[in-house]
Each structure stands twice: as C-alpha cells, then as structure tokens.
Amino acid sequence: MRTALCAELGIEHPVVGFTPSEHVAAAISRNGGLGVLGCVRFNDADELDAVLDWMDSNTGGRPYGVDVVMPSTVPTEGAPDDLTELIPPQHREFVDRTLRQLGVPELAEGERAGDGVLGWLHSVARSHVEVALRHPVSLIANALGSPPPDVIGQAHEHGLRVAALAGTAKHAQRHVDKGVDIVVAQGHEAGGHTGEIASMVLVPEVVDAVGDRVPVLAAGGIGSGRQVAAALALGASGAWTGSCWLTTSEYAMTTGDGAVQTALLGARSTDTVRTRIYTGKPARLLRTRWTEAWQQEDAPEPLPMPLQNLLVSEAHQRLTRAGDPDVVSMPIGQVVGRLNDVQPVSDVLAKMLREADETFERLAKIR
C-alpha cells in the first residue's frame, strides 16, 4: 500500500503514528511508518534534546517527526507561580475533596509537585521547535491551530514539512492559506483535543476543501487495516493514528505505568468522554471515576487553558502514583474498545497493513 505521501515523506507505508513515547515513535519509523513524537510533555528543552538524540540513534536512519502545541488563541504567558494565583480557591477545594473521596494517596514525603504541562505556552513550544530544528526531523506538526508564520518559514528553510490538525474544513483552509504542507483531518472520535465532526463526515469535507493543494491525512477512529482502507476511500493520502499505540509493549517501556494500559485494555468504545477537565479545551479522555466526579452537580466549570492543567497537574501526578485503573486521567479515542491486548508496534503495524491489503482485495471484487 503506497500513496503519494510515501514518496513525499520518504516512508514505506502511509501510516503516521502520533505518540508521547520516543520508544513507540522510533519503532513506528523503523517499521516503515512515520513516528511523530509529541513534545508537549517536555517543560525542559534540554530533556527534549536528549530524547531526540536517542531518536536519532534508534530510528535506523528512517524519517521521524515531532508534534508541538501552539494554540491559535494564545493562553496567558507567565511563570507558573503567577498563573496559579489565578486559580479560584473553590476549584482547588473541589480537586482536594475529590482526590480524598477517590482514596488517592498524597505525594510521598519530600516528593515535589511538578509544574504541570507548560508545552502549550508559545514560549515553551518555540523552544521545542528550536531543538527539533537541530535534529534530522522531517515533519513538524502543530495541534490547536496553524503554527505562527515565522515557525512555518523556519521549518521550510530547514527542509521540513509542516502539518497541522484540523477539525473543520474552514480550519484546513486557514492552515493551507498560511503555508501548511499537510493537513490532518481529525474527527470527533479521536483521543486528545478533538472537535465535533465525526471522521466519516469530516475527511471528505477537508479533502474537497484543500485536497487539490496539499495531502490530507485522516485521523480519529483509525486502529485497524479496514479503518486505514476507509480513510483512503474517503480521499485521504494516509492515516494519522494515536490511540492504537498506547497498548503497545514499547509504550509500557516509556511510562512503566501499568494502570493506564490495564484501564485501556478493559475499556469499551463507549468508555470515553469529551471534556475540558484535562487542559481547559475539549479533549477525549477515558471515562473513569475521576472524569465522572467532574460531571457531578457540585463540580465547578473547568478553567480555560492553561489554568485547568495547572489546577489538576498535582492531581494527575497523584492519580498516576495511585496505580489504580479506575481513576487514571488519560486521553484516548473511541477505538479503545478494540485495544484488547498488548503487542509490539511491529505487530500492530503489520496487522494493520495486512488487513488493509485484504480489504482492498475484497473491495476490488465488488462492482
């Protein structure tokens, strides 16, 4: 299965895998797809630099990409300490009360509460771009809007392709008008930040809007070969995937956090919820006792980005430490219902490609 995207990105298969794990990203690239490493978790640019050094030695010389988050509506910039002053005390009380009710232990004595995710502040995301440009990265993707014009210009000067996620045809047109090279049409069923239009409706709309100018990748709800084939049938040049890599053995190597995989393996496709509680913008998460607490009548409205994540950042640390699958806080798409065992990346990709080929053969017999 080869499309024009394969030649454009120098990859064997038109499957791009977004992942927060360098182990997963490198394995996707080594196996002929394009691994795209999510950078938002790196508050420290030097740490990202070291991880990209590791990627450079572990992708077997194959192309890989990075993903940064530069929201088009710029969240308040400032030191975390200043920003946290903007968090209302009632919100903090709700979080403390909920964690107590869920039986989530305090941090260990002497353990420092982290700063939360700061990667969506433009200053931090720009430091990610600067680091990425020092490595042999082939693609830089942006979530939550078009990257600023100077970032697109810098990437092009270094020979990188620029991709951006779009939840509507209008977003896609705006991206292409600003110089974006690849549009990722991401449907409602996707994990993480997501819009309101389902992939089945969105992908052909985006293809019709911009497909004559740039390649369009379909995202949201793709975890199998039949879904990859469907993406191509809808006019996409390839698939952009995220959720299906979270139950790989390589993902377990990055987090060492068994509770998340246990929770994902047991979840059905109805066990997700689109909510603002993770970052302040709508994102699809696994439904757990933590997300349900935020749906109770006494729960406050989530705060805007970036305050909401600062509010819940220590809670996320504690929920992770708790090691309890019933309370994890984890972005995941509706394909979670089909993620029922832990497999290496190579097996997930091979099965996807085999099933896509079988689908094309089956469809070729239909007239």
Q: Using CB under 6 A as the criterion, which residues of the chain lie in contact with ligand FMN when the complex forms?
A: 18, 20, 38, 40, 67, 69, 141, 143, 165, 186, 189-192, 219-222, 240-244, 331-333, 335
In the Cβ-directed half-sphere of 325, how many Cα atoms lie within 13 Å?
A: 11
Nearer to ligand FMN, 91 or 167 (CB): 167
Nearer to ligand FMN, 293 or 335 (CB): 335
Smallest distance, ligand FMN to C-beta of residue 170, A: 18
Q: What is the CA radius of gyration of the chain?
A: 20
Smallest distance, ligand FMN to C-beta of residue 89, A: 30
Instruction: List, in sequence order, every beta strand (DSSP E) within 110-251.
Output: 139-143, 161-166, 182-186, 192-193, 216-219, 238-241
Other CB atoms within 10 Å distance of the CB of residue 355: 16
Smallest distance, ligand FMN to C-beta of residue 25, A: 12
Report the residue number whose CB is nearest to ligand FMN.
242
Smallest distance, ligand FMN to C-beta of residue 88, A: 27
Smallest distance, ligand FMN to C-beta of residue 20, A: 6
Nearer to ligand FMN, 92 or 226 (CB): 226
CA distance 208 to 170: 11
Nearer to ligand FMN, 222 or 310 (CB): 222
Nearer to ligand FMN, 6 or 125 (CB): 125
Residue 361 main-chain phi, psi, to 5 deg? -65, -45
Nearer to ligand FMN, 94 or 353 (CB): 353
Question: What is the spatial order of strands in the sheet that 283-286 belongs to?
Answer: 192-193, 283-286, 272-275
Residue 9 main-chain phi, psi, to 5 deg? -100, -5
CA distance 281 to 274: 10
Smallest distance, ligand FMN to C-beta of residue 233, A: 17
